[in-house]
Structure 1
Amino acid sequence: MNALFQQAESGENSPALKLLIAAPRGFCAGVDRAIEIVEKALERYGAPVFVRHEIVHNKYVVEDLKAKGAIFVEELDEVPDDAPVVFSAHGVPKSVPAEAERRKLIYVDATCPLVSKVHRQAERQIEKNRHIIFVGHADHPEVIGTMGQVEPGQMTLVETVEDVARLEFAESDDLSFLTQTTLSVDDTREILEALQARFPQIVGPKAEDICYATSNRQAAVKKIAPESDLVLVIGAPNSSNSLRLVEVAERLGTKAYLIQRADEIDPEWLNGVETIGLTAGASAPEKLVREVIDRFSQWRDVKEETVKAAEEKMVFKLPRQLLE
C-alpha cells in the first residue's frame, strides 16, 4: 500500500473533501419503467424471462435482474418458443416484434416512450416522402432500433459536422432530421446548425428529440464542473448518456472520469483535490452514488452539497399487458 493510499485511508493531514452532488442524476423515468417491466414480467410469467439486449446499460442493474431470473440475449433466435421476452429500453427495429409475432412469442416492449416518439416521427416523415437525416452514434442500440423503423435507404446517419459536409443531397430534396435521445446537447446543436445552413429546406420535429433526462443531467454537470477539481460520472462504458456527461465536464476544462463502481476510484485522484463533482448516468441506481460517497468517507471527512439544475416528476405507465 503506497503512502498516499495510507494517508487517504487514515485521513491524516487531509482537508475535508467537498462533494458537489448533481441533481438530477441517476435513473430517469424510462429506465425506472424498463426495470419495473422486467420485474413485473418475472412476477407474471415466472422465471426465466428473456431480455433482448441489456435492458439498460448498467452492469449492476443487469446482474441484479439476472439474480431474479432474467436471461439476457442479443437476438430472438436465442429465445425458446415457449418463453416470454422483453425488448430493451433502447428500442428495436420493426423486424424484431414482427419476428416475435411470427413465432407467437409472448413479448413485452420496454422501449422508452421518448424513443418510441422518435420512431413515430420517423414513420410520419417517410409518409410525407421526406428522406431522414438521423443524428446519432453508429452501432448504438437506439440508433439501430430507430433506423430499423424505415426501409433501408430512407434514413442517413450523421455523427459529426464533418459528416454533414459530405452529404450529397440537393436543395430541391425533401429532407427532415431526427436525433438520438441521449446525445450531447451542445454537439447536437452544432450539427443541426450545420444541417440547416447547408439544407435550408430541412424539416425538424416540433420539439427536440434529446430527452429531458439527458438535457437535465448535462445541465447539472455544467453547474458543478466549474466549481470542481475533478468530476466523477457513475455509469457504464457503453452508456451513451453517461459518456456525454464526462465530455460535458471535460469541455468545461475539468478533469473527469467514468466509473462503474466505487472500487474503481484511484486514491491518487484525490491528491491535491478539495472539491469533487459527482453525478450518475440515467441508467445508474442511486445505491451506487451512495457507495461512492461512503468510499470517500473512508478516506476523508466529507461535506455533501446538492446542486440542483432541474426538477423531474416524469412517470411513464407500464404496458397494459402487465397491468391486466
Structure 2
Amino acid sequence: METPTPKPPLTLYLAAPRGFCAGVDRAIKIVEMALEKWGAPVYVRHEIVHNKYVVDDLREKGAVFVEELEECPDDRPVIFSAHGVPKAVPAEAAKREMIYVDATCPLVSKVHIEAARHHENGLQMIMIGHAGHPETVGTMGQLPEGEVLLVETVADVAGVEVRDPDKLAFVTQTTLSIDDTVDIVTALRARFPNIVGPHKEDICYATTNRQEAVKAAAPHCEAMLVVGAPNSSNSKRLVEVARKAGCSYSQLVQRAADIDWRSLEGVRSVGITAGASAPEALIDEVIDSFRARYDTTVELVETAQEDVEFKVPRVLRIPA
C-alpha cells in the first residue's frame, strides 16, 4: 500500500476586515424583508450589490432583477440598489404610484447630499469616479446635466473644462483606491486652488479598512487572492492595492473554482481578502480548497475592527 504524498506546507494570511460591509448587509436585508412583507416577486433595479452568489440567492427567494424602472410593473414593490440612483428614478416611481424602497448605502447618500448642498451654493461639481459605474451614474444624476464633471485619472484633471475655476467643489465615488484618489485630489487642488473638498473623506470606511488590511498582509505573501465580482469596483481596487504593496501575483476570483492552481505552484504564502459585497461563505470555500491541497496554516492580519450598522428604512419595520 502506497504512503500518501504529504501535502506541501502553506500559510494563508487572512486579511481583516474583509467581505460584507454595513451598507451591503443592509441592502441584502432590505430585499429579504421586502420579500417577507410583500411576498414575491419584488423587483430590484440593478444588482442589489455586485456579487453573483448574492444575486442568485435572492433571485431564488423571489427577487426579480432588472436594469431599468420601465421593466417593473406598477403594482409590485421595487428596490433601488446599494449604489444609488439618479434623482429621476424615484421621481418616476412616485409618478407611477409605485411602492419603492431605496437601499442606497447611507455613505453614498451622504455624497449625494454633499453634491446637492454645493449646487445650492452655486458651485459646479467635479466627481472623481469611474465612468458608467452605477454609483457614479447615481451621484452625477443628483444634479442637472453639466453640473457634475467626471474625472477618472490625474491626466483628466488637465483637460476638464469648468465654468468658473473659483466656484468648484469635488466629491468622490466611495469605492476608489485611497492612494490613486490622493493623487487626483492633489492635481485638482494644484489646478484649482479654491476648490472645496468634502468635510470628511468620501471614500467609505469599509473601502479604506479593506485596503489597509491588504497593505499590511501583502509584504508577507507571494500571492494575493481577492474574492469578489469582476464588476465590483472596491474588489478590483484591492487587487491593485496588493500589487502596489509588493504582491505582484494578485488576482480577483469569484469563487474557489476560479483559482488558477498552476500559477500558485511552489508558492508557500498566500493572502486572502474579499470585496465588500462578497459573503464569508465564498471566503470559507476558498480556504477549504487550499486545505484540500496544502498543509495549511491560517494567520489573521487584522488592522481594524468594524461595528458599524445601518438601520433599514422605516417602511420595512412597520407591519404591512
Match of 1:316 among 288, 306, 310: 310
Render the CA deviation track for 1:159-214: whole Å, top value 9, x for unaligned: 00000011234775300000000000000000000100111000011101000000
Aligned residue number for residue 298 of structure 1: 292
Is 1:271 the equivalent of 2:252?
Answer: no
Is 1:248 the equivalent of 2:235?
Answer: no
Q: 1:131 to 1:237 in 2, by over 3 A?
A: same
Deviation at 1:253, TM superposition (A): 2.7
Give the AA of the match of 1:116.
Answer: S
Give the AA of the match of 2:97.
Answer: K
Is 1:68 the equivalent of 2:61?
Answer: yes
Is 1:227 the equivalent of 2:231?
Answer: no
1:102-117 paired onto structure 2 within 5 Å: 102-117=95-110
Query: Is the Cα contact below 8 Å between 2:221 and 2:269 reproduced in 1?
Result: yes
Query: Is the Cα contact below 8 Å between 1:11 and 1:301 reproduced in 2?
Result: no
Aligned residue number for residue 129 of structure 1: 122
Query: Is the Cα contact below 8 Å between 1:233 and 1:258 reproduced in 2?
Result: yes
Match of 2:232 among 232, 239, 251: 239
Aligned residue number for residue 27 of structure 2: 34
Deviation at 1:43, TM superposition (A): 0.2
Deviation at 1:251, TM superposition (A): 1.2
The secondary structure found in structure 1 opposite 2:272 is strand
Q: Distance in 2 between matches of 1:164 and 1:180?
A: 16
Q: 1:228 to 1:153 in 2, by over 3 A?
A: same
Give the AA of the match of 1:19.
Answer: L
Deviation at 1:252, TM superposition (A): 2.0
Q: Distance in 2 between matches of 1:12 and 1:263?
A: 23
Query: Is the Cα contact below 8 Å between 1:261 and 1:288 reproduced in 2?
Result: yes
What is the TM-score of this pair, normalised by structure 2?
A: 0.96
Deviation at 1:11, TM superposition (A): 8.1
Render the CA deviation track for 1:257-298: whole Å, top value 9, x for unaligned: 000010111221221100000000000000000000001111
Aligned residue number for residue 4 of structure 1: none
Deviation at 1:153, TM superposition (A): 0.7
Query: Is the Cα contact below 8 Å between 2:46 and 2:81 reproduced in 1?
Result: yes
Query: Is the Cα contact below 8 Å between 2:124 and 2:163 reproduced in 1?
Result: no
1:10-25 paired onto structure 2 within 5 Å: 12=5, 14-25=7-18
For structure 1, the residue ranges without an aligned partner over 5 or more in a row are 1-9
Aligned residue number for residue 155 of structure 1: 148
Q: 1:235 to 1:194 in 2, by over 3 A?
A: same
Give the AA of the match of 1:69.
Answer: G
Give the AA of the match of 1:278.
Answer: I
Q: Distance in 1 between matches of 2:67 and 2:91?
A: 16
Deviation at 1:14, TM superposition (A): 4.5
Render the CA deviation track for 1:47-105: whole Å, top value 9, x for unaligned: 00000000000000000000000000000111011111000000000000000000001
The secondary structure found in structure 1 opposite 2:126 is strand
Query: Is the Cα contact below 8 Å between 1:11 and 1:300 reproduced in 2?
Result: no
Q: Distance in 2 between matches of 1:114 and 1:199?
A: 26
Query: Is the Cα contact below 8 Å between 1:28 and 1:282 reproduced in 2?
Result: yes
Q: Distance in 2 between matches of 1:252 and 1:11?
A: 38
Greater shift, 162-171 or 76-85, is seen at 162-171
Query: Is the Cα contact below 8 Å between 1:171 and 1:199 reproduced in 2?
Result: no
Render the CA deviation track for 1:23-49: whole Å, top value 9, x for unaligned: 000000000000000000000000000
Q: Distance in 1 between matches of 2:78 and 2:177?
A: 32
Is 1:143 the equivalent of 2:136?
Answer: yes
Aligned residue number for residue 56 of structure 1: 49
The secondary structure found in structure 1 opposite 2:11 is strand
Q: Distance in 1 between matches of 2:4 and 2:20?
A: 32
Query: Is the Cα contact below 8 Å between 1:85 and 1:105 reproduced in 2?
Result: yes
Alignment RMSD: 1.2
Give the AA of the match of 2:96.
Answer: R
The secondary structure found in structure 1 opposite 2:166 is coil
Q: Distance in 1 between matches of 2:228 and 2:302?
A: 19
Render the CA deviation track for 1:211-266: whole Å, top value 9, x for unaligned: 00000000000011111000000000000000000000111231100000101112
Aligned residue number for residue 175 of structure 1: 168
Aligned length: 315
Percent identity, aligned pairs only, is: 63
What is the TM-score of this pair, normalised by structure 1?
A: 0.95
Give the AA of the match of 1:120.
Answer: I
Q: 1:98 to 1:71 in 2, by over 3 A?
A: same
Give the AA of the match of 2:140.
Answer: M
Q: Distance in 2 between matches of 1:84 and 1:177?
A: 34
Give the AA of the match of 1:310.
Answer: A
Query: Is the Cα contact below 8 Å between 1:11 and 1:299 reproduced in 2?
Result: no
